[in-house]
Every structure is written in C-alpha cells, then in structure tokens.
Structure 1
Amino acid sequence: PETIVRHKKLIPIALEGGELTIAMSDPANVFAVDDLKMMTGRNIKVVIASEVEIKNAIDKYYGAKGSMADILKEMDGPSDGSGDDVELVKEEDTGSDIIALEAQGEDAPVIKIVNLILGGAVTAGASDIHIEPFETSLRVRYRIDGVLHEVTAPPKKLQNALSSRLKIMAKLDIAEHRLPQDGRIKIKVQNKGIDLRVSVLPTAFGEKIVMRLLDPESLKLDLTLLGFDEQALKTYHKNIDVPYGIVLVTGPTGSGKSTTLYSTLTTLNKPDVNIMTIEDPVEYVLEGINQVQANSEIGLTFAEGLKSFLRQDPDIIMVGEIRDTETAEIAINAALTGHLVFSTLHTNDAPGSMTRLNNMGIEPFLTTSTIVMVIAQRLVRLICPRCKEQFEVEYDKVKHLGITPEMVGGKSKVMLSRGTGCDLCSNTGYKGRSACYEVMEINDKIRDLVLERAPTHLLKQMARENGMKTLREAAVWKLLKGVTTLEEVMRVTFTDTD
C-alpha cells in the first residue's frame, strides 16, 4: 500500500518465487524489513537506493504526494459529476489571456487537477497531453520525446467537469458536445509562458481532449543544433542561399518540420529582407518576420494568403503546407517570379515529393524549373547522458540496418550505446530528440528523371548516387556515433530498398 511505502521509504521492485525484492535507502532498518515480511508472508531481499531515487519511484508509480490523491480527498465526490459541471465552470472565468497555474487554497479541486495535469506536462517536457474517456475510466497520457507515457488520471466521475474547465480556458462552447472544437490557452508555469493548442473531439464515451504544448524557450533556432550531419548541412545552406526557387520539407506530423523552417527563416532574417509566412496555426512568434494566421472559416486559406503576399513585395515566403493543387500552383508562380518559397508536404521521403506533386496535377516542367531542394526528416530520441552505457553486438546482427563493413572498420563486433534509466530521464533511458535528415538536391540528372515522370525508386537511386543519405542512413550514422539506440533507428526509419 502507498501509505506503507511512503512511511517506511521503500519500494518493491521484483517478486520471484517466494522472495520480494525491495529498494531502501537505509538497509539497516530491520524493523521495516520485519514488518514487511510479516505483512507479505514472503522472504525480503534488500537492495540499496538513494532516498531521492526511492521518492521519485514512489511518485511515479503511486502519484506525487500532495497532488492527485490529496486533491481527490478534498472532494465530496458527486455521484456523476453532471450536477456540478456548470457551477464549476462558472466559478472561475477570468477572461484573461494568461492563466497562472499556481494552485491556491481556495481553488476548486477540479481546477487544481487541471493545473496539475498541465503543470506536470510542462515539468516533464511533454509536447502533447491526451485526456481520453473510456467506458469506466479516464486515461491521461503525456507525449515525451515522441512517445506516449501514461500518468495518474482522475476518476471517471470528473470527466465532464474536466472537459468543461478546459473548454472554458480555451474559450470554447461548453454546451457543445456533438462537434469537434479547436481553441488555444495561454498559461504560466513557474513564470514561464506556454501556449496550448486545444482539440476537443466527441467519442463514444465522452470528449477526448488533446493539447499541444508550445514552449518558446525550448525552441532551437540554430540549424547546427538540429541534427544535420556535416555534408547535409553544407548542402542545405547552399540551397537556401539562392535568390528564388522552392525548398520543400517533408515528414509526418510531429517530425520537427516547423522547427527546421523556423530555424531556416531565422538564419535568413536580415534587415534588407522581407519575410512573410502564412501558417495554421502560428506556432511561435519570430521577431522581424511577418506571420499570418490562416483561417479557412473566413476564406483566408494558404492559397488566398499567398495571392496577397505577392502584392506585399516579399523576398522570402513560407507557407505552412501545400495541401492542394491551387496552393502548389501559386507557390510555383511565386518562385517563377523571383521569390524564395519554403513549404511542407506530407510524403514518406524526399524523392516521393516529386511524385506527389505530379499526382496533384503539377506539370513536371514546372517542378523542375522551381524546386531546388527537398528534405525529409524524422526525430529520434537521444540517449540520456547520465545513464548512458556502451555494449558490443555482433556485426551480423545489425548489418540488416544497412551498416556496411566499411562503417565499422571491418570489425566483427560493433560498439553501440543505450540508456539504463535514471531519475533524470524518468527511467526511460532517453533525454531529448534530434532530427535525421534526408537532403535531396535537385540537379540536372534528377530533373531529367522528373521530366520523364520516372517512379520514386529511380529518383531515390539517382539521389543516392549523387551523395544523398537516406533517412535510414542518417539514423544509422547517429547510432554509430552513440547518440541514439538500435531500437530508435528501427522505430522511426524503414529499410532502404534498392
């Protein structure tokens, strides 16, 4: 029970046969061991851990003391939560753009729980929060370094109250439960401003809420820190330092495309350059750059925004995404009339973007006349520096990843790294992420293939002959440098097919 582990400052870590292994900071406390032996009826094996490690483990598995459990004790616990929903929401509607997440004694318990969920996500370095309703329970998960982790959730009876509280913070319609809604929240956690993009979606058992956390302080706007290898960065710099053309960044949602584009625009931002962007939404504010929020409800689409940009004397244009043929055609026209255009496209790799534009109805002679470079990217988790360890593995067991004998100096064993887990990384073995880049420069050989409407695999083959590293090769490079793991390489990249 939680009361026992907290009082005696221990935590169980293994049960094998009739023996229970526990971690304690004071192994000489024979009274605690005897009490535990009597309670469980098992032999007790003691291993030593620091008091801090034990406390962190208890908070992780039982929930932080003074937070969720204590807040719930304050509540009388309404039978279904519905009777108190409106009262709870009306209790605090500040009308302010910024809501400070500093729990006060007079706050309603549900407000404290919302603050706990949001503040916990910021502290954990999460990029997203998922609040998911099921038939008899709620689930709360944080996406940390690209992977979802479940955390302590409030009881099902608070579902409606939590939903109402978050919707009022995001200035959404609390009476609407049938349609999806999107909103924004600005909060302060420990004097740090955080923007949240809120998405509410009706499901079979209630409203699922997902919040994307945008922390300006965590944004890296230096291209050298993003994960490019030396040759890829050189190629990238060469092709963004051009007077006109199109540069495309491809990859799935959450792969770091916005960070790459923001870093690029920051690099190009000079007093003699007019940079304009249209985004949906504007994730981060960049000083000296004219950023426009797209709004399809009033007709301000990417295409309409681009049309207006061309009358604003721009040098560089960034459009959040090429979603349709009209946007693609206007972007190409902008490049043909002497502008440098950056945008994103959803394809699996860099060569696939040319085929994608072809399928959208864009003539090959237009793409070859304007596109100067396409990059694809994925994010891999970095090994925690505190608990990092090296180990050897047989070459034959990793060669399927595309590791050649030349890469490992012809050795029969390969030295790799991994994280064992510690309090710094919450026992995941990972801390932070880095991008893997596939940089395809559009040269004459690539243009000839595009004009012939060659399939993607031939474009990829030619790009590799021209020196392009694939996503898998870029990830393997990080693996051999000891910054990521074998599992991460296999999780985020596919095997190259010749």
Structure 2
Amino acid sequence: MWPFAKKPAPEPSRRAQRVAPTSIKRPPLAARDVAANDGFDTRSAKEVEELSRGGRLVSQQRANELEDIATFADVPRFHRILSAGDQPIVEVPVDRRDRLVVIDSGGRNAVVIHAGVDAALLNSIVGSLRERNYSSSVARAASEVIRQIQQSRIKNEARGMARQQTPYVAAMHEWISYAVENRATDIHLEVRGSAGYVRFRIDGEMEPMRGDKQGKEEATFIEKCMSSLFNNEQAAKSGSDSMFERDQNLYCMVPYDEIPGHTLRLRFQSLKGNEGPKTVLRLLHVDENLPTLTFEQAGYEPSMVELWRQAMHTPSGAVLIAGVTGSGKSTTLKSFIELNPNTPSSNVLTVEDPVEYPIRGAHQVPIQRDLANPQESAKRFSEVISAFMRSDPDVVMVGEIRDRFSSNAAQQLAETGHMALGTVHAHLLSGIVPRLVNTEIGMSRAILTAPNMLTLLAYQALVPKLCKHCCLPASEIQGDHQVDMIVQILQQLNLPIERMRWKNPSGCSRCNGRGTAGLTVVAEMLMPDEEWLSPIRDGLDAKAVEVYRSRSDGDLTSPNMNGKTVFEHCLYKALNGLVDARNCSDFDTWPRFSRHHSHRRA
C-alpha cells in the first residue's frame, strides 16, 4: 500500500487558490458512482453534461459520494495509478495526462480524477474500466493535484525498484502473484535437505509450481525467503517472535498489497522439521469493499439457507460450525454476521487469534495466544471476554472452541441470553458433541442440552467444482475402478446418472489443465430440539443420529437437505454434474453408504 494516509488538509496557499479557485470554493456537485455493472453511456444526456462539468455519477446501489479533491492530502488512499506505467489498465491521451489520472483504491475500485475534460473521454475511460471489472467513481481536482499524483508514482516506483532488488522479496512476490492468478488458497514452502520446493493448494489439491523448475529451488534460498518475509513484513503485534528461527514453530500475519486489485493478508505458519523448516502461507482476501459471499454462492441449498436465516432471528444460544482446517468456517461466520438483518441494530463483538478478515458491522479484538504459556493465553482470553460482558453485547464470536476457556466463554454468553458464534475442529455433525465434551474442552452434556443453549450446528467441507468446459461422462473414463464401482452402486439404487460428469485428468485451457474450477460447500445442518437433545443428554449419540436421519425425505435427487448427510449433499451435486462423485469418499465409503441407504429404504 502506498503511504497516502489521510491527514488534515492544510490551508490552501494563495498560489493554490489562483491555480484552482473553483476546486476549493465551488460547493460539491451531486455525485453518482459508476458501478462495474453499470454503463456510463446508459445515463441521461443531462447527467453526462453534469459529469463533463466536473460532477460525478453515484450508483443507486452504492450512494458513496466523493467530495471534490482540493489538495493532494485529500486524494483517497490508493495502490497504484491505473493510467500510467508500461502496461496501463486504461489509456489516457498524451495531451490529457496532465488533466486526468485514474487510481486504484483497492478491491477493484477505481477513482477517475480530472481537471475538466470532455464527457466523451470520461465515457471511454469508465467503459474501459468496466470491461476490466473495475467499479468507478469520478472526482474533480486541480491540475496541480494531478501533477502531484503523477510525481508520487515516480517516487514510489523508485522505492519499489530498490526493494525488488532483494531476490528473496522478488521471489515471494512471484509466488504470491502466481497463487492469486491460479486461485490458490495456500502456498507451501518446504526445505528437504539440500533442496527446497514451492507448492500450492489449488481447488483443494496440492500441486508444484508450474514452469521449468517445477517449483524446485535451493534449500538455502527457500529458507531465506521465509526469514525475509517473517522478519521484515509481519504486522505489528501479530507474531509469535520478532525473528525467524528454523527450529521454532512460528506464526504471524503479513499484510500484502503489492498485487494490483487485491488486498491480502498472509497467515504465516512455520514448522520445524528433521530436514529443515516448512512454511505455509494462507491467502486471505481482506478488501473491505469485496461483496459479502452469500450462502447460496458458497454452495448451500435452499433448505440449508433457511436454517441459517432462522438462526439469525434467534436472539440467544450458540451457533457452531464444524469442519477440518481450511473448510471455510471463518468465511461462513463472516457471512452470517454481515448478512444478518439484525447486525446493524446489534452490538457484535469478536475475539480472534488472529483477526483474519474484516467483518462489516463487528468490533474485532485481536489477541495473541502464547502456545508456550497456556496460562498467560488463558488470562488474555478471559480478560477480553470479561470486558465483552461489560460492553452490552448482543452477538459475540469467540473463534475456535479449543479449550476450557473458549468453551466457558461460549457457555457464559449463551446462558446469559446472548448469541455466541464459534467454530469446532470436528469431523461430521455427529462429532461436534463428542468433541465438546472431551477432556480438552470439558463441556458437560447436561449444559450442552440445556434449553436455548444450542441454536444451530453445522458441519461443512469444501470440494472442487468440475470445469464445465472439459468434464467427462462416465463412458469416456477408461479403466478407473472407482468410477466403475460408483456407477454400479448408483444403478443398483436406481439413481439417474445421465447428468453426472467426472474430472478430466488432462483438463483444458479454461481450467489451466486442472479439470476443476473453484470450490463449493457441502454440508449437514441441524437445529437441535428436545427429540435430538434427549439422547445426547443420555450419551446415546447413535440414537441422536437416527433422530436426525429420520427427518430426511430419502430422495437423493431432491435439494431438500433436512436430515441428510454431507455425503448425500456431495452426491446430490455429483448427480447434477457439479462435482466429481469420487469426492464423496472424503466423508464415507461407497459400500457402506450403499448398505445404509438400502437399509433405510427397506
């Protein structure tokens, strides 16, 4: 991020007043942003004429009015200039570059700043930005301000070139850029003896970096890249230590905004190892202007979305999401808060270690737990929760429930009439209660099954979506024993397989040869009631599973997921050609599923 932080605007000099008296004295004009999906040329002639006089267009979807820019200090914080450089995003005629500049303010939001140009040029600029998936705003400023913006680019490019002379910084930038371009969720830097490797998790699967070297580097180079990032780039008060040590397990957060159009945080976690250290970087897209991911977009079916909505309108109790690491639990809780219609009128607090995503409508408190000193960590966490209880809360997100302190916090909030949000590392819906009552977390079944304690339980996982351009029917999959077995089982169950598709191992140009294109949620959900709570209270977990399963309609082709397992949700998506049915094996074996389903139908 270039350091153009807001500061109080100085009194304009007499010279500045002579340069642009109208930009300082003229009252702000009505403004209208141009959203990415709006066309500038769809506006009325009157609006276009207004824009040519220095007005701005404001989208009806987002009434974010920009004041006229009086001085350089008033320029919005920005990443880079989109209308300058060797490969500009938008082209500005040479004779207009002293009167118009386009800046990137993050999250694919552009601001067109001009000192009075014709409407046709503005129309062209905004149209070019829209074609490149940028939202646009238009503001007027003096030509002196535009000159200062252009000069700032030259200064920062010089600073960036000096920084890029470090080979470790340049390599990290290359790897992070590759990860963003290929939709990777994680970057793995590994040292194995004298060799180092760079790998990426893309669409849920690990793969080496493509290219001549296949991600292979010298071990010393990889290790210096790790230490350079940890020592020089970590956010203040986010790290477990100030200096990288190869024989320590270290973590920190690294803000990264060097990739145009993307604001990232990298969650850095290193591991000591017998042959050398390993570091995993989780890529977190944290731009506050990114739209909230809806439950439907994530992959939840309508019956599941209805359960989320019911939970939003329940004022108290615990909402818990289970899943393995990297299953999107934090993202789902973020969506739950931001989509909740009650959030604007509620006091929403979060305690996080660390804060990963900005959550609109929530006051987020970071804490740094010391893994080597659990007593001190517990004290920090307890202090925050005690402060929360004195802060008139409505909703509190306690993060991962992993010990007695976090479970006590969730219990205290739910028992006192507040809503507690949390995540649990548990496998399947049926594994949530056993996880919570184990000796590590220490909750009791009596407390968990008390009235109004549990509002909603969910288990979710992420599976790769098939590339729709190259996925294959079963007839084109040759010699795959698992595919043959699955097709045989589905035929025995009289299920339609005509729409099913399978991953193309060679992929195509659209999916970069991977055969997949993104991830989708598969899940199982339950709103606990007394019929389910009663066997849980008595330790009869298998009986509770039967209660849950009794609510299924038994139709594996139906989108109604009430009482259905995550295996069946994955199968439903496979029957509709969205995912590969082999992914169902992540949740159960096919023979066991076949026996259970046949037994239930009997």
* TM-score interval for Structure 1 and Structure 2 normalised by the shorter chain: 0.7 to 0.9
Deviations 1:425-476 (A, max 9, x none): 2211001101111002211211111121213x22212111123111101110
Q: Distance in 1 between matches of 2:490 and 2:527?
A: 22
- The 1:395–1:333 alpha-carbon spacing in structure 2 relative to 1, beyond 3 Å, is same
- The 1:164–1:351 alpha-carbon spacing in structure 2 relative to 1, beyond 3 Å, is closer
Deviation larger for 376-385 or 481-490: 481-490
Tell me how far 1:244 sits from its aligned partner. 0.8
Q: Distance in 1 between matches of 2:463 and 2:449?
A: 32
Q: Distance in 1 between matches of 2:302 and 2:583?
A: 21
Deviations 1:11-35 (A, max 9, x none): xxxxxxxxxxxxxxxxxxxxxxxxx
Q: Distance in 1 between matches of 2:264 and 2:177?
A: 10
Contact 1:395 1:414 (8 Å CA) reproduced: no
The counterpart of 1:398, out of the listed 480, 483, 486, is 486
Is 1:296 aligned with 2:369?
A: yes
Contact 2:244 2:250 (8 Å CA) reproduced: no
Alignment of 1:374-389 (within 5 A): 374-389=457-472
The counterpart of 2:443, out of the listed 359, 362, 382, is 362
Deviations 1:197-233 (A, max 9, x none): 1122222333222111111357752122111112222
Is 1:317 aligned with 2:405?
A: no
Contact 2:483 2:582 (8 Å CA) reproduced: no
Q: Distance in 2 between matches of 1:199 and 1:449?
A: 40
Tell me how far 1:403 sits from its aligned partner. 8.2
Q: Could you tell me which residue of structure 2 aligns to residue 280 of structure 1?
A: 353
Tell me the SS of whatever aligns to 2:409: helix
Q: Could you tell me which residue of structure 1 aligns to residue 537 of structure 2?
A: 451
Deviations 1:308-350 (A, max 9, x none): 2111111111111111233223312211211111111121111
Q: Could you tell me which residue of structure 2 aligns to residue 166 of structure 1?
A: 229
Tell me how far 1:110 sits from its aligned partner. 3.4
Q: Could you tell me which residue of structure 1 aligns to residue 406 of structure 2?
A: 327
Is 1:231 aligned with 2:303?
A: yes
Tell me the SS of whatever aligns to 2:473: strand
The counterpart of 1:177, out of the listed 228, 246, 266, is 246
Tell me the SS of whatever aligns to 2:387: helix
- The 1:101–1:418 alpha-carbon spacing in structure 2 relative to 1, beyond 3 Å, is farther
- The 1:417–1:451 alpha-carbon spacing in structure 2 relative to 1, beyond 3 Å, is same
Contact 1:381 1:431 (8 Å CA) reproduced: yes
> Number of residue pairs matched?
396
Q: Which runs of 4+ in 1 moved over 6 A?
A: 98-106, 393-396, 399-404
Q: Could you tell me which residue of structure 1 aligns to residue 174 of structure 2?
A: 116
Q: Distance in 2 between matches of 1:191 and 1:356?
A: 41
* CA RMSD, 1 decimal: 3.0
Tell me the SS of whatever aligns to 2:217: coil
Contact 1:306 1:331 (8 Å CA) reproduced: no
- The 1:163–1:480 alpha-carbon spacing in structure 2 relative to 1, beyond 3 Å, is same
Alignment of 1:15-164 (within 5 A): 107-151=165-209, 152-164=215-227
Deviations 1:127-150 (A, max 9, x none): 111111112311110111221111
The counterpart of 2:548, out of the listed 463, 470, 485, is 463
Deviation larger for 313-322 or 397-406: 397-406
Deviation larger for 164-173 or 231-240: 164-173
- The 1:335–1:131 alpha-carbon spacing in structure 2 relative to 1, beyond 3 Å, is same
The counterpart of 1:418, out of the listed 477, 494, 502, is 502
Contact 1:101 1:115 (8 Å CA) reproduced: no
Q: Distance in 1 between matches of 2:266 and 2:464?
A: 23
Q: Could you tell me which residue of structure 2 aligns to residue 428 of structure 1?
A: 514
Is 1:199 aligned with 2:294?
A: no
- The 1:164–1:328 alpha-carbon spacing in structure 2 relative to 1, beyond 3 Å, is closer
Instruction: Determine which structure has greater relative contact order: mean sequence separation of CA pairs < 8 Å that are 6+ residues apart, divided by chain length.
Output: 1
Q: Distance in 2 between matches of 1:125 and 1:365?
A: 44
Tell me how far 1:386 sits from its aligned partner. 2.7
The counterpart of 1:343, out of the listed 422, 429, 433, is 422
TM-score, normalized by length of structure 1? Answer: 0.72
Tell me how far 1:257 sits from its aligned partner. 0.6
Tell me the SS of whatever aligns to 1:210: strand
Contact 1:197 1:213 (8 Å CA) reproduced: yes
Tell me how far 1:402 sits from its aligned partner. 7.5
Is 1:267 aligned with 2:339?
A: yes
Q: Distance in 1 between matches of 2:205 and 2:300?
A: 22
Q: Distance in 1 between matches of 2:159 and 2:433?
A: 47
Where do 5+ consecutive residues of structure 1 fail to align? 1-97
Contact 1:380 1:484 (8 Å CA) reproduced: yes
Q: Distance in 1 between matches of 2:310 and 2:244?
A: 53
Tell me the SS of whatever aligns to 2:429: coil
Contact 1:170 1:198 (8 Å CA) reproduced: no
Tell me the SS of whatever aligns to 1:416: coil
Q: Could you tell me which residue of structure 2 aligns to residue 473 of structure 1?
A: 568
Deviation larger for 128-137 or 301-310: 301-310
- The 1:344–1:101 alpha-carbon spacing in structure 2 relative to 1, beyond 3 Å, is farther
Tell me how far 1:405 sits from its aligned partner. 3.4
Contact 1:220 1:259 (8 Å CA) reproduced: no
